[in-house]
Amino acid sequence: MSARKIGDTILSVEGISLSFGGVQALSNISFDVREHEVRAIIGPNGAGKSSMLNVINGVYHPQEGTITYRGEKREQMDPHHVAAQGIARTFQSLALFKGMSVLDNIMTGRNLKMKSGILAQAIRIGAAEREEVAHREKVEHIIDFLEIQPYRKTPVGRLPYGLQKRVDLGRALAMEPKVLLLDEPMAGMNVEEKQDMCRFVLDVNDEFGTTVVLIEHDMGVVMDISDRVVVLDYGKKIGDGSPDEVRNNQAVIDAYLGVQH
Amino acid sequence: MMTHSLAATALRTQRDKAVTEEGPGVSANVTKLDTFPQLLLRHAAERGNHPAIREKDLGIWQTWTWSQVLDEVRAVSGGLASLGFKRGDRLAIIGDNRPRLYWSISAAQMLGGIPVPLYQDAAAQEMTFPLQNAEIEIAIVEDQEQVDKLLEILPQCPKLKYIVYDDPRGLRKYDASQLISFEALQERGRGFNAKNPAYLDEEIGKCKHADTAAMFYTSGTTGVPKGVVLSHENLIFAGQAYVSLDQITEDEELLAYMPLAWIGQNAFSYTLSLIAGFCVSCPESGETVMIDVREVGPTFYFAPPAVLEGMLTRVMVQMEDAGFVKRKMFHYFMALARRVGGKLLSGTEQVGPLDRLQYALGKLLVYGPLRNRLGMSRVRIAYTFGEAIGPDLFVFYRSLGVNLKQLYASTETSAVITLHENGKVRSDTVGPPLPGVEVKIAESGEVLVRSPGVFVGYYKNPEATAEVKDADGWFHTGDAGFFDKDGHLRIIDRAKDVGRLKDGTLFAPKYLENKLKFFPHIKEVVAFGHGRDCATAMINIDVTAVGDWAERRNLPYAGYTDLAGKEAVYELIWDCVVKANLDLSSDPKLAGSQIKRFVILHKELDADDGELTRTRKVRRRIIADKYAKIIEALYSDSDHVEFDAQVKFEDGRSGAIHADLKIWDAKIFKGNASQANQGNGQ
Whether B80 shows a pLDDT value over 90: the answer reads yes
Average pLDDT estimate for A59-76? 89
User: How remote is the C-alpha of A195 from its chain's centroid?
Assistant: 17
> What pLDDT, on a 0 to 100 scale, did the predictor assign at position B221?
54
Query: Do B163 and B136 have their domain in common?
Result: yes
pLDDT band at B186 (very low <50, low <70, confident <90, very high): very high
A2 with A72, same domain: the answer is yes
The chain A residues in contact with chain B (CB within 8 A) are 1-4, 133, 136-137, 140-141, 143-145, 147, 149-150, 152, 199, 203, 206-207
Is the residue at B606 inside a domain? yes
Same domain for A252 and A182, yes or no, is: yes
pLDDT-above-70 percentage for chain B: 92
Please check whether residue A141 lies inside any domain of the structure: yes
Distance from CA of B677 to the nearest CA of A (A): 47
Torsion A44-A48-A51-A52 (CA) sign: negative
Contact yes or no for B287 and A203 at CB 8 A: no
Q: For residue B681, tell me if it sits in a domain.
A: no
- ipTM of this predicted structure: 0.77
At which of A176, A201, A228 does a domain end? Answer: A176
Mean per-residue pLDDT for B141-156?
A: 95
pLDDT value for B114: 97
- CATH code (residue A74): 3.40.50.300
DSSP code of residue B214: E
pLDDT at B300: 96
Residue B677 — very low, low, confident or very high, per pLDDT cuts 50/70/90? very low
Residue B225 is predicted with a pLDDT of 87
Determine which of B169-173, B186-190, B301-305, B563-567 has the lowest per-residue pLDDT on average: B169-173
Q: Do B454 and B398 share a structural domain?
A: yes
For residue B60, the chain A residues in CB contact (below 8 A) are 140
The pLDDT of B642-647, averaged and rounded, is 86
Q: Do A140 and B59 lie within an 8 Å CB cutoff?
A: yes
Dump strand ranges (E) for B128-285: 138-141, 162-165, 179-181, 212-217, 227-231, 253-255, 279-282
- Residues of chain A with pLDDT > 90, as a percent, come to 48
Among the listed ranges A59-68, B99-108, B270-279, which one has the minimum average pLDDT value? A59-68
**Does A185 share its domain with A135?**
no
Instruction: Give the range among B126-135, B464-473, B672-681 with minimum mean pLDDT.
Output: B672-681
- Whether residue B682 is contained in a domain is answered as no
Model pLDDT, residue B222: 58
Quote the mean pLDDT of chain B.
88
- Check residue B541 and give its pLDDT: 93
What integer pLDDT is reported at residue B6 of this predicted model? 42
A63 pLDDT tier (thresholds 50, 70, 90): very high
Alpha-carbon distance of B38 to B46, in angstroms, equals 12
Same domain for A23 and A63? yes
Is residue B223 scored above 80 in pLDDT?
A: no
pLDDT of residue B81: 97
**Average confidence (pLDDT) over B270-296:** 94
Rounded Cα gap, residues B657 and B565, in angstroms: 13
pLDDT band with cut points at 50, 70 and 90 for residue B361: very high
A61: number of Cβ within 10 Å? 12
Q: What is the pLDDT of residues B610-626, one digit of tens each?
A: 888 766 778 888 899 99
Pick from B98, B142, B90: nearest CA to B121? B142
- The answer to whether position A237 is within a domain reads yes
Q: Which residues of A touch B57 (CB under 8 A)?
A: 144
Q: Could you tell me the maximum CA-CA distance found in chain A, to the nearest angstrom?
A: 72
A-B CB pairs within 8 A amount to 44
Are B296 and B204 part of one and the same domain? yes
DSSP string, B559-575: SHHHHHT-HHHHHHHHH
Domain count, chain A: 2
The answer to whether residues A70 and A32 belong to one domain is yes
Are B120 and B231 in the same domain? yes
Claim to verify: residue B320 and residue B246 sit in the same structural domain: no
pLDDT of residue B292: 94
Domain boundary among B468, B494, B520: B494
- Supply the pLDDT for residue B10: 42
Kindly give the pairing relationship between strand B535-541 and strand B404-408: unpaired
Residues of chain B in contact with residue A147, where contact means CB-CB under 8 angstroms, are 285
Mean of pLDDT values over B588-594: 86
pLDDT at B591: 87
Domain boundary at B244, B278, B300, which? B300
Higher-confidence position of B365 and A191: B365
Which pLDDT band, with edges at 50, 70 and 90, does A4 fall under? low
Axis-axis angle for helices B305-321, B391-399 (nearest 10) = 70
Q: Over 60: is that where the pLDDT of A3 sits?
A: no
Give me the pLDDT at residue B682, please.
Answer: 36
User: What is residue B19's predicted lDDT score, i.e. its pLDDT?
Assistant: 37
Average pLDDT of the segment spanning B321-328: 89
Q: Are B132 and B156 in contact (CB under 8 A)?
A: yes
Residues B240 and B323 in one domain: no
Nearest chain A CA: its distance from B160 CA (Å) = 21
- Reported as a pLDDT band with limits 50, 70 and 90, residue B679 is very low
- Give CA torsion, residues A142, A146, A149, A154, to 10 deg: -90
Among partner residues A2, A141, A147, which is closest to B285 by beta-carbon distance? A147
In a domain, A12, yes or no: yes
Is B173 close to A206, i.e. CB distance below 8 A? yes
- CATH number of the domain enclosing B41: 3.40.50.12780
Report the gap between the CA of A2 and the closest CA in chain B (Å).
5
> Are residues B180 and B248 located together in one domain of the fold?
yes
Of A157, A176, A195, the residue that ends a domain is A176
Q: What's the average model confidence in pLDDT over B150-176? A: 93
Residue B1 has pLDDT above 50, yes or no: no
- Could you tell me if B617 and B642 lie in one domain? yes
Q: B179 contacts in A (CB within 8 Å)?
A: 1
Confidence tier at B655 by pLDDT (50, 70, 90):
confident
Question: What is the domain-level CATH number for residue B642?
Answer: 3.30.300.30
| Domain identity same for B322 and B253 | no
pLDDT in tens, B232-261: 999 999 999 999 999 999 999 999 999 999
Residue B390 pLDDT level (bands cut at 50, 70, 90): confident
Task: Tell whether A248 and A209 lie within a shared domain.
Answer: yes
In which band, very low, low, confident or very high, does the pLDDT at B101 lie, cut at 50, 70 and 90? very high
Of A140, A150, A199, the CB nearest to B58: A140
pLDDT of B527 reads 94
Cα(B456)–Cα(B375) distance, integer angstroms = 38
Q: Which of B96, B173, B181, B290 is most worth mutating to test chain A (most A CB atoms within 10 A of its CB)?
A: B173
Q: In sequence order, what are the residues at sequence separation of 6 or more whose Cβ sits closer than 8 angstroms to the Cβ of residue B320?
A: B327
Give dist(CA A206, CA B170) in Å, integer: 7
* Average pLDDT, integer, range A240-259: 84
Using CA coordinates, name the residue in chain B closest to A5. B173
| Mean pLDDT value of segment B347-370 | 91
Q: Which pLDDT score, from 0 to 100, does residue B372 have?
A: 93
CB B58 within 8 A of CB B6: no
Number of domains forming the structure of chain B? 3
- Structural domain contains residue B278: yes
Residue B669 has pLDDT above 80, yes or no: yes
| Residue B335: band (very low, low, confident or very high) from pLDDT cuts 50, 70, 90 | very high
Are A251 and A202 in a shared domain? yes
Residue B586: pLDDT band with limits 50, 70, 90: confident
For B426-446, write each residue's pLDDT tens digit. 888 999 999 999 999 998 889
Residue where one domain finishes, among candidates B270, B300, B330 = B300
Q: How confident is the model at residue A250 (pLDDT cuts 50, 70, 90)?
A: confident
pTM for the full predicted model: 0.82
Regarding predicted confidence, which is higher, A80 or B116? B116
Of A3, A141, A150, the CB nearest to B287: A150
Q: Of B147-151, B404-408, B510-514, B648-652, where does mean pLDDT reach its minimum?
A: B648-652
Instruction: Single out the residue of B454, B422, B421, B424 nearest to residue B436, CA to CA.
Output: B454
- Is the pLDDT score of B495 beyond 90? no
Domain containing A101 equals 96-176
Q: Which residue has the higher pLDDT, B400 or B4?
A: B400
Over range B549-554, report the average pLDDT: 88
What's the average model confidence in pLDDT over B323-344?
91
CA distance B94 to B127: 10
Longest dimension (CA), chain B: 85
What domain range is B612 assigned to?
Answer: 498-676
**A27 belongs to a structural domain:** yes
Q: How confident is the model at residue B20 (pLDDT cuts 50, 70, 90)?
A: very low
Residues A69 and A194 in one domain: yes
Q: Do residues B430 and B507 both lie within one domain?
A: no
B12 pLDDT higher than 60: no
Contact B405, B384 (CB under 8 A): yes
